[in-house]
Structure 1
């Protein structure tokens, strides 16, 4: 076991992005708490499941990166605070207050009422895809599905869906274009500003014309209940918009690839569609869309696995490594749709456990179930090694494109 710092350049390569799991296995064995050297800040990666769960509930690891040191600004740039200072990046009691405001909108009963609308969106998307015999399932299905669902839930007008999607995709795919870095940063900052202004304008419009949607409910919490500050309206709306579609879109893409490259499991699920809820959990464990939990900062010197993490260091809990920990999952690198759900942390752990878990599970079950029913003999249109993925610098694990053929 070693605590030698690993250069970030050794971890975040194209080969790593294509298949990070051999690297995760090595780190779990050789450096379960791994210092990562970079030019911007000290970072430590935690890769074993028991340590990951402990870190995700450790009060010494703060999510408030906008506090002293302004770590979030150093990581994500000058325009990040206007959109990202929200419950995801806060600690109790602020996190508790903000989460309570929006939790009612994600109550399982309310989410279940959305099932017919989700099924309608899925069918409409597939009606356009099926006759073509081929599709880019990211562009044509995995991305628009959760974006349309969360937009409906928030109250974003259908006429604005396309431009909101365009802005979020610029942010999501940052670093994937061939533009010079300065142009790429400028494009992302422009998208952030436009989205920020759009959401601020939408909040004001909803004030004058409230409806049965989540933004109107947030305004009510601000104006009448006093539980939400004015500045928090836009940041909370952005979090719900982005978190409500980004990870679900990437999960749908990753899950489809996992099934197409494990044909025995694909046929099992076709033959036994009642396995779908269990299969969703295994697919999330197998190749989740959020490989590393959003960053935390050590508020004091702490120690994990005998490794000292100095105060002020950034700590990344590697969810996708923890979910392949052989101490908790037998043969963890094998996709097994009959596997018991087990202790996976694909939806997080502790007070920041995913608020939209019911919605994400429902969209995944309806979406993947429909793909299995309606796409005859689906197959990748390119070798799996040639699939274009989000860049190494992205906090998400997902695909830029998912070309498939079916007949």
Structure 2
């Protein structure tokens, strides 16, 4: 698709034509344009698979609403995800990471890094932030997998129903016995004051929980796998730990695990010499956008010294990832601590034998066997 920059027309599985955006400049221009809608219940909203097409009936809080509703929802949450607030969480993240690494060291090699480390780190952190019992992690992690990668639409919809029921029950309990998490704050400040209704709060909680652990876990495991496959860059990072923030940005660009952002035009839009007509779908190929050689020279190279922060791995515009500061902190601490604790870390299986997650939007690893 690189030859078709910055955008081109393709046909989807159902025969409908959509615009695929592959150029970095066009992507940022369009993602900031209010004439593109994120409301997937609109009849013309695109779906890249049958599963996604069948799941368009239900609105998704935050990610699937436009302004002014989106602004209202986001404003409720922004104070909890500022750089200052997430910075204050760094000691807690470090403690969580250290405990998991201690357990790995005690159990000895080999280890399975996805379930022993990459997944528990963000799961524990988001549970503490929201006020969700971590003891329920097996349930919500399983439902998150079904929601994002269920083999059929019915599977994904059932997972959403299960998560809705879970949060409805948890909100009921918290109304009677409040805690000190973000969910408790939303109940007290927003639900009781009538600023949001119960279903909206349930949908927000589901989005925060699923997005708050699934994507970061994938980045930690894929980041580790990528570093082990690039020994020169890993050696440089070990020699200069101060490069880790830049390395995280470059890994986010290089991996682009959340691919295929979807929008629909509500009016005609002129961009890059093309006209996107009202009711035409738009698909943003994040993985290609983040390797636009006009913006990122030698895009297939992993380079800690490039300016990579203007990638679109977290999206762009009003729907840019709310938790990006938290995700960066978790990745920096997890990767730096992992390779510091286990300097001899290496794969415990051939790279081409390691299974990746099936899916149409979120990339990840099913398991990552390592030894040291």
CA distance in 2: counterparts of 1:50 and 1:368, whole angstroms: 31
Which among 244, 258, 266 is matched to residue 226 of structure 2? 258
2:260 is equivalent to residue 285 of structure 1: no
Aligned partners of 2:30 and 2:36 also within 8 Å: yes
Match of 1:311 in 2: 278
Distance between the aligned counterparts of 2:281 and 2:178, measured in 1? 41
Alpha-carbon distance change, 120 to 168 in structure 1, aligned in 2, over 3 angstroms:
same
Any conservation in 2 of the 1:101–1:228 contact (CA below 8 Å)?
A: no
Partner of 2:139 in structure 1? 163
What's the counterpart of residue 323 of structure 1?
290
Residue of structure 1 aligned with 2:69, choices 94, 98, 111: 94
**What is the count of residue pairs matched by the alignment?**
369
1-structure distance, mates of 2:329, 2:242: 14
Measured against aligned partners, the alpha-carbon deviations of 1:210-237 in whole angstroms (never above 9, x if no partner) come to 1211111111233344322222110000
Q: List per-residue Cα deviations over 1:204-262 (Å, max 9, x = no partner).
A: 11111112111111112333443222221100001111111121111112211211111
Asked whether 1:381 is paired with 2:348, we answer yes
Q: Quote the residue 2:114 is aligned against.
A: 138
Distance 2:285 2:31 in 1: 11
Q: TM-score, normalised by structure 2?
A: 0.91
Deviation at 1:79, TM superposition (A): 6.2
Does structure 1 residue 35 correspond to structure 2 residue 9? Answer: yes
> Is residue 128 of structure 1 aligned with residue 103 of structure 2?
yes
The CA deviation string for residues 154-189 of structure 1, in whole angstroms up to 9 with x for no partner, is 1111322222222222334434xxxxxxxx554433
Report the secondary structure of 1:66's partner residue. Answer: coil
Task: Give 3-state SS (helix, strand or coil) of 1:327's partner.
Answer: coil
Measured after TM superposition, the shift of residue 297 of structure 1 is 0.9
Q: Does residue 76 in structure 1 map to residue 44 in structure 2? A: no
Q: Does 1:190 align with 2:174?
A: no
Q: 1:396 aligns with which of 345, 362, 366?
A: 362
* Pair 1:366 & 2:333 matched: yes
- Cα distance in 2 for partners of 1:342, 1:246 equals 22
Residue deviations 1:261-305, cap 9 Å, x none? 110000111111111111111111111221232x11111343444
Q: Check if 1:150 corresponds to 2:118.
A: no
Q: Deviation per CA, 1:340-389, whole angstroms, max 9, x where unpaired?
A: 33522222211112211211111011100111111232222333333322
Unpaired runs of at least 5, structure 1: 1-26, 176-183
Alpha-carbon separation, structure 1, partners of 2:348 and 2:147 = 27
CA deviation after TM superposition for structure 1 residue 51, in Å: 0.6
Taking the aligned partners of 2:45 and 2:26, their CA distance within structure 1 comes to 26
The one of 208, 223, 227 equivalent to 2:176 is: 208
CA contact (8 A) 2:296 2:308 kept: no
Write the distance in 1 (CA, Å) between the matches of 2:160 and 2:192: 29
Distance across 2 between alignment mates of 1:244 and 1:213: 14
Q: Distance in 2 between matches of 1:209 and 1:360?
A: 30
